[in-house]
Amino acid sequence: MRLLPALVLAAALPAAELPLVTAVEYQPLAAQVTRLLDALDLLGEPLPAPDTTQLRRLVSQAADPKGAIVELQKILDRHCLVGVHINPESRVKVEQGPAKAELMEQGWRTFLVKVANEAGVTAVLAVDSPNAGRMAGSTNPRARFLDIQMFNKQPLRAHLSGLEVEYRILQLFSRDSGKREGKLSFDVGQGTQDLGFRNEVDILFQARPASKVSLRVLDFNDRPTTAGFTIRDARGRVYPSQAKRLAPDFAFHPQVYRANGESVMLPSGDYAIEYARGPEYLKKVQRVRVVEDRPLELTFRLDRWIDPARLGWYSGDHHVHAAGCAHYEKPTEGVYPQDMMRHLLGEDLKIGSVLSWGPGWYFQKTFFDGKDHALSTKENLMRYDVEVSGFPSSHAGHIVLLSLKDQDYPGSKRIEDWPSWGGPVFRWAKSQDAITGYTHSGWGLSLKEEKLPSSEIPPFDGIGANEYIVTVTHDLVDFISTVDTPYAWELNIWYHTLNVGYRARISGETDFPCIYGDRVGLGRSYVRQTGLDYRDWVNGLREGRNYASDGKSHLIDFRVNDIQMGEGASEVRLGAPGAVRVTARVAALLDPAPDAAIRRARYDQKPYWDVERARIGDSRRVPVELVVNGQVVARQEIDADGELRSLTFSHQIERSSWVALRILPSSHTNPIFVLVGGRPIRASRRSAEWCLQAVDQCWNQKSPRFRDSERAEAEKAYDFARQAYRQRLQESAVE
């Protein structure tokens, strides 16, 4: 292996070997390699596992930094298709590297580019090719078989760092199969090309032909359906390549969704195909061999471990986006209803609310029609509604509005015309009988300690359920959302307001693809219904006949003294203190082996809700907790083996209280209210004091951004909330 102590290149270099650069410092090189590995993982094109393991070790703990500099390059150079040298005058020279020049018909391949940067250039490294049809003189259509791009997005940076050596990612797509010669040309700006065409390299590629793989996708009852498929080859690379996916396949997660009879194109090789249909299904793996030029038909039969809908509990995710975040950020871009419907079907969400919001508002709002979308099926419904996010009131807390009849605030022509605080938005939505709530509730309500309930006053400086502390006193808010932010941050404010007698409910959501881009339905609400109906489902959120869940644990048919959650007013009336009987059917599913990555993560790191976090030690058991007024008063353990079990608790109720069940942080019921002697719930003076202080904290944070024309109305609403909590503080006799 050649060494370049001072970045002086030898005149004649073996074609398959790139020069080593020793005049570089270890720490910034290690940081760049870390970002490179993260980017390759993101693209679904990781290096071989042994190389990745060795690289991660070298960048995290190098006893010999100088030796690590050499070892890092030796490993990475093997995967470089091209080496680029930038001389002190910023001239670019290119040579072919040792990576196998193998492409895939109708697919993308990812390669590394080594950049030896003597000039410390910080421009963008650009690549072009006459075979991509973009360079002058590229007129022969048969020669234009390539598509080509540098991957310059996060976690990489668009510009070169100026470091003496770094690695970039090159992506190549081949239209054809067979041998094709392609010319690659690199530069770092006009005039940087070296003399004598030395900034170009001609490479003979071998493009492997792809075979059509047809998929028979059958549900647990042998009916044709849609499922999610994650396809990896022996190296762990994902297919279809994530590098240049087009909707309905999304580039920000590895799986694709295919319906019965659809297909994928795969080159010859061995593959592991993981398939499922949301968290209620077992994950299964089928290993297959694809032979060149031989079409293949595969059958995939799905298996459920639980079927809540059969038991009368219908899943839904009311926070799904078709634009913004991991989608596209221009207002006129995003994906179409047919793309979102495919994902709802592939995760078996019975209800999917696609919310138009700031980044895609003016385009996505064109799909709103105030009713179930025409693509809905008998078993899976989709509807377009609104998240008030990216609007003037967003600083006070993002608002979700469900089952709207009209999506435009009165008198508004632009987003900027909407109110600057939440109260008017809620009143307008309520005037059309919409169901209203807060999204990603924990943002702005962070706690220093993982405790429920906590007496700590959060900062109220975010976009979650911050102004809920005010609007709940006006009976404007139906629910706050959970599952997509840390559980203690979400539940703490809810517990406190329940303790002083307010009755807003909770729901589960994903905020796809903003907080979670993995898939829709990572956070779900399971609503009790006699049959699937969108309006009845969202009414269930208002009435509290639902439990929130990650889909991996279930709290079904929760009752207190045979009064079911969400039945009537969810009230149990006792003439005097006495024991109540709490029942439910409970199930959870854990893999036999613990997931160390989730267990090591702090509770304020994703995934925020996951049944793995509830695992007891190394066992396959989880605790089911009985919660009264925010306190755990009883606990039973169950095996998380997917079996549905009946549980019974008995507890003495001394004063009017709210009662709930939870498997924390995986699932949580809504409350049943036990009223003793007809008295209202005033369970905690401490909670009343907390709420009163929280109103002041929220006002201090939010009021500077209220419009002058709206300030008096907002101040009146906040004063009303203060008076309401003072009154309830006087009525609360216990701590």
In DSSP terms, 285 is beta-bridged to: 274
Report the CATH superfamily, name and number, of domain 552-683: Immunoglobulins (2.60.40.10)
Domain covering 210-301 in this structure, CATH number: 2.60.40.10
Say whether the peptide bond before residue 248 is cis (omega within 30 degrees of 0).
yes
Largest CA distance in the chain: 97
* Alpha-carbon span 279 to 205, nearest angstrom: 42
| Coil vs helix vs strand at 76 | helix
Residues of the chain with CATH 2.60.40.10: 210-301, 552-683
For residue 595, with 0-12 CB atoms within 10 Å meaning exposed, 13-18 middle and 19 or more buried, which class applies? middle
State the distance between the two ends of the chain, measured CA to CA, in whole angstroms: 74
pLDDT digits (tens, 9 = 90+) for 577-618: 999 999 999 999 999 999 999 999 999 999 999 999 999 999
Helix (H) or strand (E) holding 258: strand 256-259
* Alpha-carbon span 383 to 363, nearest angstrom: 16
Look up the pTM and report it. Answer: 0.86
Buried residues in 607-639 as b, exposed as e (16+ CB within 10 A) = bbbbbbbbbeeeebbbebbbbbbbeebeeeebe
Residue 458 backbone phi and psi in degrees, to 5: -65, 170
Which residues of the chain fall below pLDDT 50?
A: 1-14, 136
Pairing relationship of beta strands 435-438 and 399-402 according to DSSP bridges: antiparallel
Domain 312-549+686-735 part of CATH 3.20.20.140? yes
pLDDT digits (tens, 9 = 90+) for 35-90: 999 999 988 899 999 999 999 999 998 789 999 999 999 999 999 999 999 999 88
Number of Cα atoms under 13 Å in the Cβ half of residue 238? 23
| Coil vs helix vs strand at 606 | coil
* Alpha-carbon span 543 to 534, nearest angstrom: 14
Residues of the chain with CATH 3.20.20.140: 312-549+686-735
Pairing relationship of beta strands 269-276 and 226-233 according to DSSP bridges: antiparallel
The helices-and-strands tally (H runs, E runs) of the chain is 12, 38
Give the number of other Cβ atoms within 10 Å of residue 329's Cβ.
Answer: 12
Q: How far is CA 115 from CA 122, 155, 524, in A?
A: 12, 18, 47
Note the helical H segments in 331-486: 337-346, 361-364, 422-431, 468-471
Q: Please give the pLDDT value at position 13.
A: 40
Q: Please give the pLDDT value at position 194.
A: 56
